Structure 1
Amino acid sequence: MHLSIGILSSLLATTAVATSNSRFFKRQGYNSTDYVLKQGPLDTPWTEKVGTDPWPEYPRPQLARSEWKNLNGVWRYQNATGFSELNAPPFGKELELPVLVPFCLESALSGVMGNHTIYSWYRTTFDVPSSWTAGNRVLLNFGAVDWNATVFVNGHQVFNHVGGYFSFSVDVTDQLSTNGTNELYEILFVFDPTDMEGYNIPLGKQRLVPSHIFYTPCSGIWQTVWLESAPANHITQLDVSADMYGKVNVTVHGSGNTSSIVQVTIYEPHSTVAKVTAKGRANEPFIFDVDDFDLWSPDSPTLYNMTVKMDGDTVQSYTGFRTISSGEVDGVPRPLLNGDFVFMFGTLDQGYWPDGLHTPPSREAMVYDLEVLKSVGYNMLRKHIKIEPALFYQACDEMGIMLIQDMPALVDGYHIPGNVCHDTDDVKDEASQKEFERELALLIEQHRNYPSIVTWMIYNEGWGQERKKEYPEFRLTDMVKSLDPTRLVDSVSGWHDHGAGDFHDNHHYSSPQCGTPFYSTASTPYNPSQDRRIAIQGEFGGIGNNITEEHAWKVKASIDAVNGTYELDDTIEIWNYRAHHILKELEEQITLFACSGAVWTQTTDVEGEVNGMMTYDRRLIRMDKDQWKDDIQALYDAAEKRGNSTMRMMARGDDLDVL
């Protein structure tokens, strides 16, 4: 039964009904009301497996400590009315509802499945393990809270953090009680306006009122919360890069102002045998060389474990040796991995889940997506205006999946609900622009160690891109490169390209226009004699296949939007037929023109979008795997021939010569 023309009222009636599967949780004497998994519009094969101990893995693999405690599980939650409640927090009171952390309040897995959860209170209790090192400090860590979080511990306000995609850490030692039981209140008061009138924050695809390509928002805690033990002078951040020549550049940031001696040991792969040990000073960069190593690449994603010591602190990390650059190959600007042209082909990866929204139900579920894509030959993903938990990037590092990492977009004038004039002055105030730039810097600072990330992307299709007062992408490209000179920058993907950055990036559905002299109104033609940037197809494909009700996001507005898909193919067989011909067209553009990479829309269906490699519930893979493997390999083969070609590429008159 196809659902594009409507949906049964009986299906809609089930979306807000809780299942009979009650979950119970109690942490160290804290009496929690029964948690009940909600029945959302759609689930996944992992939904029922989550239980009340979600995401038990250590959440920060590039700065890992041995003494830690996971605080995920059932907390208490209640709605708040506004910032005025910060003046009288509900200390010592039982909050109204159970909530499963780390799933955002709008998700079924949270047990709340709220709507317009703009202001919220959270509460939990914890004990510090007596086995932890005496005299150490206790750090409270958050993977991410959307968007503005104020932390209280035992009645004391200790921290405020702004930025819905970024981790933060709080030293709570001085607020701990001596009897062992501690109340984290709120652990937060959370304010998340999403696209509420009067606010313009980095939010990506989130909307209070979802509509086709914009989705259900994610408010509150949505990544792991944990405690850990560390000395007073402890490591707060590692900046590590290792290039194709064996040069390792390290900065170990410490909580103190002193230049303590630090020691870095790199081990042989899958071994405890030390390969090299180097020393430097905290808060200062130092460089050392490593001999006889294997490079990181999609075909051979070799990683090297590291131990870093500073005073009494020891953390575990890892790195990979690789160099990302741009250069001309037979006169064509190309992306280079370890000095070689590698054609980058991946999906537009939204990172949404029907049961957890921004948060996958488990690491197993998250890795499943990557395994499906890798199995047919994708070597890249474009992480589309969303930032993932650290374990996602570790998985890409381990599996050899290159990443184009987007900065989550502001809301622009075109996409503000009710704006019928389509105002193009996208940034309404300087404060919004400054917040976007501050969070862009956080993106770079917190993610620059992952070998899998090869490119930073600043703007998507002009969303939140100021164009009247200035073209900020030039200034922001310089900022990004100053923070991280080791990667490429795609300054503007799709629209309003003024020439900044390393890429000429075209969007066109369904057929590609990759590095071609023909173009659509939203993009510009690629002229190799004038534009010496790398030509890629930042988005294309997007062909859809309608679904049966068992795989559908059972929300009427989403179902009604299905026919807005760029192209709908009646059967999976026709969908694969169309995909084959579109990929053959891309192959021709690699052969004839200057195409160096492409991004197919998309990994999975999302709510009202039905154009994924898989359905939203991950239960159906649309791809004919043998066909897709052959077609993707043909892209790489065409690129390899171009990389080895001795022809000079030019366009002359009406001739369709090799570019």
Structure 2
Amino acid sequence: MHLLRGLALSLLAGTSLAVPGHNVKKSADKPAKYALKEPPLTTPWTDDVGTNPWPEYPRPQMQRSQWQNLNGIWQYENASSLNDVERPPFGQNLAQEVLVPFCLESGLSGIQGDYNLYSWYSNSFKVPSDWDGQSILLNFEAVDYEATVFVNGKKVGFNRGGYFRFTVDVTEHVKCGQENELLVFVHDPTDSGDYVIPIGKQTLRQSHIFYTPCSGIWKSVWLESAPENHITRLDLDANMHGQGKLFFSRSILNVTVHTTAANTTSNVHVTVHDNGKVVKTHSGPTNQPFQFNVDSPELWSPDSPKLYQVTVKMGKDEIQSYTGFRTISKGEVEGVVRPLLNGEFIFMFGTLDQGFWPDGIYTPPTKEAMVYDLKVLKKLGFNMLRKHIKVENELFYQACDELGLLVIQDMPALRPLQSTTNPSTCVSTTILPDPQQQAEFSRQLELLVNQHKSFPSIATWIIYNEGWGQITSYYPEFGLTAMVKQLDPTRLVDSTTGWFDHGAGDFSDNHHYSDPQCGTPFYSTDSSPFDPTRIGFQGEFGGLGNNVSIEHLWNNQASINTINQTYEIDATLAAWNYRSHILLSELQNQVRLFSCCGGVWTQTTDVEGEVNGLMTYDRRLQRFDEGQWKSDIQGLYNAAAARSNATTSTP
């Protein structure tokens, strides 16, 4: 453990860590032109990306009218150590062009590199003259892992955390109507050395269930203008209130408008719209919560994903947002603790959704491609997905809101399932966070909740997956669960999905492959025994594999060699669908007989060396028999409805 602590301290001190085989390239007179690198596998959208990717406004719940998208062709150059941040290449061309926002390991970035621990990005931008006198805000939706930002020769910001949005106020450093130089230094250690940081399933040493990492800028970058005192965060919680199923005499909208003037109070005006028609207006104070009633709104659910538009005005600042009225809770129904949506038991059934793409790695090639996956799930009858140890761009959650897909959102896991060996004793110990690294995990968990708690579709937060990065000498999940509940009392918390369950949180969550063990009195050593005082849930099961021809596989021999590690390989699609039917029927029996409240099927798509998706990694082949799967999924909802004396509902 002292080695981990020492490395963390050396990081803070700026000590260099050399990368074998990687040297800083001399700045070129002209950067090498961008060209798509042929990835090991493409998708139907690979060739549609072009050089102006992701043109959509990136922050759908806090939109401003004056903005400028900075996605597109930037310049890139490899660096060799942390010390390089002290030598910014101001006024120079970098070695080659790169397509932002695709991570450096992806073919779409034009780099398709590996071991990208240290990197420089550069770009230039022109601020419109009519933004003069306003605050100029530079927004990054995500940079993995640490970003140091320079504008016109000055260091203007630093951010740590590879999954979360950050904003730099560059007002004092830009010149309106002129070109401005932007440089970003990125350090992404992933799982090099003894680093213990949130990385999900990224690894520098890919092997079956651990995949190609994502380094650098991998979500959208944009500029916007706002008044000096402007809105920095908008928290919306639209809850139902009353009795009934679809319409209620009164619902409550809870609002907190955070501003740059955090220690003062201003008046803010909130208007709720329904397709242009004003539903309610209300005024309240900034920087503190307030609430008001909305008469008879239609509630949001997977059956009816009704959304209302929201306009927020504070002085000269105006933003557009939206919300959905719904309440997530738990309660006892017919003697079983159940998850409740709008006061009624909802059987949550979805897929393990990993969000990897062969051409963009962590970044979908286009919004259309991203939404395609969600539409496939919705078409089959799933009412939920588990976003597995990754945080998507905010347009993903908006799409779930619009389509009616509940989201169980994981916190990206700390470095998983790796160990270090003491050379003197030859004793191997699991790499776990030291106190400083644990505190950083907690800080980033807080960011996850605060930046996403206004999306109606998110129903549950997951803190730990299968013990990855979970300290077992004491039980940090209790304190983290309390923190999440304080930050967001409107949702459920699945503290430990699989493995080391000590009783924290709202779920008794079992993982079992391939067959389920959901809310049952029997269990294997793979997971924890069922606790009837909490919600019985099958956090993962299935994982049935079916190999395919090379044109649908991640064409990397090391990954192909791991295909036989899949839980079960079925020789034909007919056999795969038959086995899927058997497992879904078994889950249905557990809903009827025991306390099963929902489940997560592994998985939406294949990923690299895994061939157990509903679709292949390239999304070109669907394994499922649509009629059979729709019937089996509906059977789960029917069984759940019978246990709760509720009317059967099809999502």
In 2, the alpha carbon distance for the partners of 1:307 and 1:527 equals 44
In 2, the alpha carbon distance for the partners of 1:422 and 1:511 equals 35
The reply to whether residue 128 of structure 1 matches residue 127 of structure 2 is yes
1:304 offset after TM fit, Å?
A: 0.3
1:83 offset after TM fit, Å?
A: 1.5
Q: 1:569 to 1:436 in 2, by over 3 A?
A: same
CA contact (8 A) 1:54 1:102 kept: yes
- What does residue 328 of structure 1 align with? 332
User: What amino acid is aligned across from residue 173 of structure 2 in structure 1?
Assistant: Q
CA contact (8 A) 1:265 1:275 kept: yes
In 2, the alpha carbon distance for the partners of 1:423 and 1:467 equals 16
User: What amino acid is aligned across from residue 415 of structure 1 in structure 2?
Assistant: Q
- What does residue 191 of structure 1 align with? 187
1:87 offset after TM fit, Å?
A: 1.6
1:177 offset after TM fit, Å?
A: 2.9
The reply to whether residue 473 of structure 1 matches residue 469 of structure 2 is no
Deviates more, 1:416-425 or 1:308-317: 416-425
In 1, the alpha carbon distance for the partners of 2:430 and 2:209 equals 21
Task: Give the secondary structure class of the aligned counterpart of 1:617.
Answer: coil
- What does residue 495 of structure 1 align with? 499
In 1, the alpha carbon distance for the partners of 2:55 and 2:307 equals 23
In 2, the alpha carbon distance for the partners of 1:404 and 1:525 equals 21
**Superimposed CA distance per residue, residues 296-334 of structure 1 (whole angstroms, 9 cap, x where no aligned partner):** 000000000000001110000000000000000011000
Task: Give the secondary structure class of the aligned counterpart of 2:562.
Answer: helix
Matches within 5 A, 1:207-286: 207-245=203-241, 246-256=251-261, 257-268=263-274, 271-286=275-290
User: What amino acid is aligned across from residue 234 of structure 1 in structure 2?
Assistant: H
In 1, the alpha carbon distance for the partners of 2:393 and 2:205 equals 25
User: What amino acid is aligned across from residue 166 of structure 1 in structure 2?
Assistant: F
In 1, the alpha carbon distance for the partners of 2:587 and 2:429 equals 32
- What does residue 367 of structure 2 align with? 363
The reply to whether residue 385 of structure 1 matches residue 406 of structure 2 is no
User: What amino acid is aligned across from residue 451 of structure 1 in structure 2?
Assistant: P
User: What amino acid is aligned across from residue 290 of structure 2 in structure 1?
Assistant: F
- What does residue 146 of structure 1 align with? 144
The reply to whether residue 415 of structure 1 matches residue 411 of structure 2 is no
In 2, the alpha carbon distance for the partners of 1:372 and 1:179 equals 46
In 2, the alpha carbon distance for the partners of 1:288 and 1:163 equals 35
- What does residue 89 of structure 2 align with? 90
User: What amino acid is aligned across from residue 378 of structure 1 in structure 2?
Assistant: F
Please, which of 156, 162, 165 is the counterpart of residue 164 of structure 1? 162
- What does residue 102 of structure 1 align with? 101
In 1, the alpha carbon distance for the partners of 2:458 and 2:427 equals 34
**Superimposed CA distance per residue, residues 245-271 of structure 1 (whole angstroms, 9 cap, x where no aligned partner):** 211110000111321110100002xx2
**Superimposed CA distance per residue, residues 410-436 of structure 1 (whole angstroms, 9 cap, x where no aligned partner):** 114x33488998956552411111111
Q: 1:601 to 1:422 in 2, by over 3 A?
A: farther
Q: 1:431 to 1:540 in 2, by over 3 A?
A: same
Deviates more, 1:174-183 or 1:83-92: 174-183
Task: Give the secondary structure class of the aligned counterpart of 2:98.
Answer: strand
In 2, the alpha carbon distance for the partners of 1:354 and 1:342 equals 34
In 1, the alpha carbon distance for the partners of 2:394 and 2:264 equals 29
Matches within 5 A, 1:334-353: 334-353=338-357
- What does residue 535 of structure 2 align with? 534
In 1, the alpha carbon distance for the partners of 2:522 and 2:46 equals 46
1:550 offset after TM fit, Å?
A: 0.3
Q: 1:296 to 1:193 in 2, by over 3 A?
A: same
**Superimposed CA distance per residue, residues 504-559 of structure 1 (whole angstroms, 9 cap, x where no aligned partner):** 0000000000001111102233253xxx1000000000000001000010111100
User: What amino acid is aligned across from residue 147 of structure 2 in structure 1?
Assistant: A
CA contact (8 A) 1:154 1:177 kept: no
Matches within 5 A, 1:539-550: 539-550=540-551
- What does residue 180 of structure 2 align with? 182
- What does residue 483 of structure 1 align with? 487
Paired residues, number: 606
1:82 offset after TM fit, Å?
A: 1.1
User: What amino acid is aligned across from residue 127 of structure 1 in structure 2?
Assistant: K
CA contact (8 A) 1:426 1:465 kept: no
In 2, the alpha carbon distance for the partners of 1:628 and 1:445 equals 36
The reply to whether residue 448 of structure 1 matches residue 453 of structure 2 is yes
Task: Give the secondary structure class of the aligned counterpart of 2:162.
Answer: coil
CA contact (8 A) 1:104 1:110 kept: yes
Q: 1:56 to 1:418 in 2, by over 3 A?
A: farther
Task: Give the secondary structure class of the aligned counterpart of 1:38.
Answer: coil
CA contact (8 A) 1:495 1:523 kept: yes
Task: Give the secondary structure class of the aligned counterpart of 1:432.
Answer: helix
Task: Give the secondary structure class of the aligned counterpart of 2:35.
Answer: strand
Matches within 5 A, 1:500-511: 500-511=504-515
User: What amino acid is aligned across from residue 482 of structure 1 in structure 2?
Assistant: Q
Structure 1 unpaired stretches of 5+: 1-29, 646-659
In 1, the alpha carbon distance for the partners of 2:428 and 2:484 equals 28
Q: 1:323 to 1:350 in 2, by over 3 A?
A: same
- What does residue 52 of structure 2 align with? 53
Q: 1:501 to 1:137 in 2, by over 3 A?
A: same
In 1, the alpha carbon distance for the partners of 2:362 and 2:206 equals 14
Task: Give the secondary structure class of the aligned counterpart of 1:37.
Answer: coil
Task: Give the secondary structure class of the aligned counterpart of 1:394.
Answer: helix
In 2, the alpha carbon distance for the partners of 1:440 and 1:118 equals 23
**Superimposed CA distance per residue, residues 40-72 of structure 1 (whole angstroms, 9 cap, x where no aligned partner):** 100100000000000000000000000000000
- What does residue 25 of structure 1 align with? none
1:244 offset after TM fit, Å?
A: 1.1
Matches within 5 A, 1:424-443: 426-443=431-448
In 1, the alpha carbon distance for the partners of 2:304 and 2:541 equals 28
Deviates more, 1:254-263 or 1:489-498: 254-263
Matches within 5 A, 1:574-585: 574-585=575-586
**Superimposed CA distance per residue, residues 231-253 of structure 1 (whole angstroms, 9 cap, x where no aligned partner):** 00000000110101211110000
CA contact (8 A) 1:103 1:109 kept: yes
Q: 1:570 to 1:419 in 2, by over 3 A?
A: farther
**Superimposed CA distance per residue, residues 438-486 of structure 1 (whole angstroms, 9 cap, x where no aligned partner):** 1000000100000000000000000000011x10011110010000000
In 1, the alpha carbon distance for the partners of 2:397 and 2:169 equals 26
The reply to whether residue 301 of structure 1 matches residue 305 of structure 2 is yes
CA contact (8 A) 1:506 1:523 kept: yes
In 1, the alpha carbon distance for the partners of 2:306 and 2:427 equals 48
In 1, the alpha carbon distance for the partners of 2:179 and 2:280 equals 44
1:292 offset after TM fit, Å?
A: 1.5
In 1, the alpha carbon distance for the partners of 2:577 and 2:419 equals 35
**Superimposed CA distance per residue, residues 204-257 of structure 1 (whole angstroms, 9 cap, x where no aligned partner):** 000011110000000000000000010000000001101012111100001113
User: What amino acid is aligned across from residue 260 of structure 1 in structure 2?
Assistant: S
In 2, the alpha carbon distance for the partners of 1:109 and 1:536 equals 38
- What does residue 21 of structure 1 align with? none
Query: How high is the TM-score relative to the length of structure 2?
Result: 0.91
- What does residue 21 of structure 2 align with? none
Query: How high is the TM-score relative to the length of structure 1?
Result: 0.90
CA contact (8 A) 1:43 1:354 kept: yes
The alignment-based identity, stated in percent, is 62
In 1, the alpha carbon distance for the partners of 2:531 and 2:448 equals 32
The reply to whether residue 201 of structure 1 matches residue 197 of structure 2 is yes
